[in-house]
Amino acid sequence: MDINLLKKIPLFTELNTEELKIVASCLKSVKFKEGEYLFKENETGNELYILFKGQIGISKKMTLIENRNEVDKTFIVLCAEQNVFFGEIGLLGYKRRTASASAKTDCELFSINQTDFNKISKKHPQIGFKILLQICLKLSNLLEKTDSDILKLTTALIYALNN
């Protein structure tokens, strides 16, 4: 595994070369064909994914008023060029997935599961701390964005109801 590729991923920005080598030894290479699901909303999972090639769509089920059927609505398309990681909630334990992830193109990823992450963290606490800090920063940013989105939606709803 190319350590220089890992250095570009925000999850690993605080790790030095030796620490990256330790993490790299626990990463598993996985491939998905276009249209395949990595995981589906509400399934339990314990893996975090790092995208190296391709595009991944992140979607949520929505009920449309017209027909009351649930449909998957893609909200985000992740590209390898963005140096992204996702599925971080799974790394914290067998948690329900809050969205679905599917390959929009043929994809190559690396994954790490909770068991391997815990082993690294117990043997090298500084690595676990640095990675968890990056996960916390991402979750904090997502929470801030969600808060802003809810405020906008609430304002729009109140406006629509008053007219």
pLDDT at 149: 85
**Count of domains observed in the chain:** 1
pLDDT at 45: 93
Which of 32, 4, 21 is closest to 110 using CA atoms? 32
Question: What's the CATH number where 144 sits?
Answer: 2.60.120.10
pTM of the model: 0.84
- The residue segments making up the domain with residue 79 are 3-162
Q: How many helices (H) and strands (E) does the chain have?
A: 5, 10
Per-residue pLDDT of the chain (163 residues; tens, 9 = 90+): 789 899 999 999 999 999 999 999 999 999 999 999 999 999 999 999 999 999 999 998 876 656 666 666 778 999 999 999 999 988 888 789 989 999 999 999 999 999 999 999 999 999 999 999 999 999 999 889 888 888 988 988 898 889 8
Contact between 20 and 80 (Cβ < 8 Å): no
DSSP-derived secondary structure letter, 81: G
Contact between 85 and 8 (Cβ < 8 Å): no
Q: Hey, is 53 helix, strand or coil?
A: strand
